[in-house]
């Protein structure tokens, strides 16, 4: 499941949400759709660890874990 982290441009709230297909997320706090997508740790890992095989992501992930992810949902990482 793709989990993305967003920051609301209206109320500055940051949150994580599942994004399915063309679903447009909105701020859980103020319902705004004026959001900035943040680069979460897991999203970055799954993107960069493709063709190269080994990346430096492993070391950073080992030290900081997946704090960028939703705490209860790190299934999209593919790490570990």
Q: Exactly one of 2, 32, 64, 75 binds Zn ion (CB under 5 A); which one?
A: 32
Kindly state whether residue 30 participates in binding Zn ion, applying the rule CB under 5 A: yes
CA 29, 70, 47: angle at the middle one, nearest 5? 115
Stretch (H or E) spanning 59 = helix 57-64
Nearer to Zn ion, 10 or 48 (CB): 10
Query: In whole angstroms, what is the distance from residue 62 CA to residue 77 CA?
Result: 13
- Tokens representing 9 are 């441009």
39 binds Zn ion (CB under 5 A): no
36 binds Zn ion (CB under 5 A): no
Does position 27 interact with Zn ion (CB under 5 A)? The reply is: yes
Binding-site ranges for Zn ion (CB under 5 A): 8, 10-11, 13, 27, 29-30, 32
């Amino acid at each position: 499941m793709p989990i993305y982290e967003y920051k609301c441009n209206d109320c500055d709230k940051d949150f994580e949400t599942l994004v399915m297909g063309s679903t447009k997320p909105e701020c859980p706090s103020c319902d705004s759709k004026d959001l900035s997508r943040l680069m979460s740790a897991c999203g970055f890992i799954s993107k960069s660890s493709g063709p190269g095989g080994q990346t430096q992501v492993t070391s950073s992930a080992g030290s900081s874990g997946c704090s960028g992810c939703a705490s209860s949902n790190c299934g999209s990482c593919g790490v570990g």
